Structure 1
Amino acid sequence: MTSKVREKGEQVRSFILANIESHNGDIAALVANKFGITRQAVNKHLVRLREQGTIVKEGSARSPVYKMVPMVAKTFVYHLTPTLQEDVVWSSAIKEAVLPLPDNVLNIWHHGFTEMFNNAIDHSGGTEILVTVKKNALSTEIMIADNGIGIFKKIQTEFDLLDERHAIFELAKGKLTTDPRNHSGEGIFFTSRMFDTFEILSGGLYFGHERGKPEDWLLERSKADNGTSVFMQLNNHTSRTTKKVFDEYTEGDDYGFDKTVVPVNLAKYGMDELISRSQAKRLLARVELFKKVIFDFKNVEQIGQAFADQIFRVFANDHPEIILQPINTSEAVREMISRAQAHRSAEEG
């Protein structure tokens, strides 16, 4: 009985930590309703968390404001020299800064940090890398920032793309690298899927992926900064593993990276609708590298006949071995896709 009470208490405190900063004004009511306990019982848990040094209470007794207490807040600066190595930086400084963590969580950080730090070493063309590590009782955050050319600008230049937005679109698909001899192009794709939040700020563009949301998102800023900043955040007690994430994008038994999710909305520019074959061809760039392509149409209300035809008839005819799966389609989008597929079936018949 005592162990069950202790387990429920841990569940209550974990829920408080996960919601306290976003529900500062009503955390007691939220927790009481969630677990069917009194506000007085919730307050006992809040007091315990304060005594543990996990949270602090500010404001008045009538209007308290709770904040998570940082357990770690460290900054590291590295000069980009020929001898700088990401595994040495990890083992000599970053690993100690994030410990203690469960093995599966530590493995994710090991993978994500070394991949992103290596990108800054090999591709940034800068002179310095800044790393910040922040950890509280709930989660850990790491930012890696360089003062180089900027990742989106470099990809745009290397691949002669339309603009930097197109570079983000290609990154979202995976298997993209400016140095195929030394890199597989899988680093950013898989790293972005391992963390709860993954963001890249470079130039005037802001690219992000949130775990549990298959679509990537993009924001534009009026002020463009030099270099690239990568931000990663992960719950300290997630059950996720690196293997689970790799397996999500594997089709069949060969364990290759052969499935991708294409966020169709990123193919739009401004208020332009997705109408033309040229837009579809940009969407389809490099998807022949995969065995299964999932087109996520979230936030796309309609598409043109030519756009749908280029993907679901022309490309499908040219690559019958590739599975093309549309998801999150509106009724208007489904109609256009169905029309293209019907034409393809008629041709085959």
Structure 2
Amino acid sequence: MSHPLIEDRSAQCALMTRLVFDHLTNWITAAASEHSLDLAAHIEERTGASRRSAQAALKRLVDAGWLTRSGTARRAVFTPGALRQVARSYTLHGLQEDLPWQRDFAPHFALPRHVERMVQHGFTELMNNAADHSGGTSVTVSLRQTPTHVQLLVSDDGIGVFDKICAAFSLEDPQHAMLELSKGRLTSAPDAHTGRGLFFSSQLADVFDIHANNTAYQRRAWETSGWKKGRALPRQGSSIYMAIALNTTRTLDGVMNAWSRAGDGIDFDQTRVQLRLLTSDGKALDSRAAARRVGSRLTTFKRAEIDFEGVTDVGHGFTDELFRVFAKANPQVELVAVNATPRIEALVKSAKAA
């Protein structure tokens, strides 16, 4: 039987080895691109490791799929493998979001062209949001490619997106902030932004998560339910994660076209409002105040689908306020009820006819 102290030291060594390996994967992709002929020497110089340790690390990285080795036994050539990752931190003051993409990230990944275009859009939009809206001082970005997906994580140390929206629009609940965010065209700086960035980034992704202010919401492209609450990460600022399948048929133009009535992606003039963001399972939407929250900012669109999925009970006041009062005051906005139960459809029809 081994001694507990020996077991403890062995566990510490194993943990240290794992942590070193995890650290290597944050920068080995870029290093392999820039030092393909002298990668072992570069690892030695960068980490202070011995030649033997560097060679062992390279073998492990090749075996794990992070590197590809070619050349000869005496003259090895290393290039990025099927697994790739770049992680960098930036000061937000004066940040030009296109430069990190062009300089530090794009050259080191091998993505299908249409996927790369979507990742570029999400990357620059989320970086710009952090720079212009977070109120923070720094942002950390990680981009990882696997054989099946590309994954982007952008984290800042600012106020947090939900608190920012609540403060800018006099909202009291992060749930109401998420409702507004889900409509699109939401910005706290209308003179400089159109409110497209976060909305379209979420629509491009197969998986999209927002963590801020001890609140989390997630969207899965294959689920018809849209946005739903997630498990929050206790951290300062905002963390936004998006993942896109490499074999997706989705394109940036296709996503933008879907939210344009003309189908050309020029105008962002139609939206969908998920009513389940206003309530929890089994609870009714019964108030005119809730209906006014739904109608908030819909005058910036020409068409709005009011999505009742997950909502089984609404009151007369809610449907009257939205489908009669709001509709008559704003005839230029077409309101369309979708995924409604027969009873809710009848209430909507009654309100429109009143």
Q: Same fold (TM over 0.5)?
A: yes
- SS of the residue corresponding to residue 226 of structure 1 reads coil
1:169 counterpart residue number: 179
Aligned residue identity for 1:341: K
**Which of 55, 58, 72 is matched with 2:84 structurally?**
72
Tell me, yes or no, if structure 1 residue 101 matches structure 2 residue 106: no
Give how far 1:252 is off.
2.8
1:227 counterpart residue number: 237
**Which of 287, 293, 300 is matched with 1:276 structurally?**
287
Cα deviation, 1:270-320, whole Å, max 9, x if unaligned, reads: 874210111100111001111110011111011000001111111111222
1:298 counterpart residue number: 309
Closer/same/farther in 2, CA of residues 183 and 215 from structure 1, 3 Å limit: farther
- SS of the residue corresponding to residue 225 of structure 1 reads coil
Give how far 1:321 is off.
2.3
Give how far 1:116 is off.
0.3
Give how far 1:111 is off.
0.6
- Identical residues among aligned pairs (%): 33
Aligned residue identity for 1:76: R
**Which of 217, 227, 233 is matched with 1:207 structurally?**
217
Instruction: Give the whole-Å Cα distance in 1 for the aligned partners of 2:352 and 2:65.
Output: 57
Give how far 1:109 is off.
0.7
Instruction: Give the whole-Å Cα distance in 1 for the aligned partners of 2:128 and 2:201.
Output: 13
List alignment gaps of at least 5 residues for structure 2. Answer: 1-61, 67-80
- SS of the residue corresponding to residue 166 of structure 1 reads helix
> Does the aligned pair in 2 maintain the 1:140–1:234 contact within 8 Å?
yes
Aligned-pair Cα RMSD in Å: 2.3
Aligned residue identity for 1:304: G
Aligned residue identity for 2:330: H
Closer/same/farther in 2, CA of residues 253 and 81 from structure 1, 3 Å limit: closer
**Looking at CA atoms only, which structure, 1 or 2, has the larger radius of gyration?**
2
1:66 counterpart residue number: none
List alignment gaps of at least 5 residues for structure 1. Answer: 1-50, 56-68, 344-349
What is the number of residues matched between the two proteins?
A: 278
> Does the aligned pair in 1 maintain the 2:139–2:157 contact within 8 Å?
yes
1:260 counterpart residue number: 271
Query: TM-score, normalised on structure 2?
Result: 0.73
Query: TM-score, normalised on structure 1?
Result: 0.74
- SS of the residue corresponding to residue 88 of structure 1 reads helix
1:314 counterpart residue number: 325
Cα deviation, 1:310-342, whole Å, max 9, x if unaligned, reads: 111111112222211111112232222122123
Closer/same/farther in 2, CA of residues 336 and 105 from structure 1, 3 Å limit: same
2:136 counterpart residue number: 126
Closer/same/farther in 2, CA of residues 240 and 221 from structure 1, 3 Å limit: closer
Closer/same/farther in 2, CA of residues 214 and 172 from structure 1, 3 Å limit: farther
Aligned residue identity for 1:289: T
Closer/same/farther in 2, CA of residues 52 and 77 from structure 1, 3 Å limit: closer
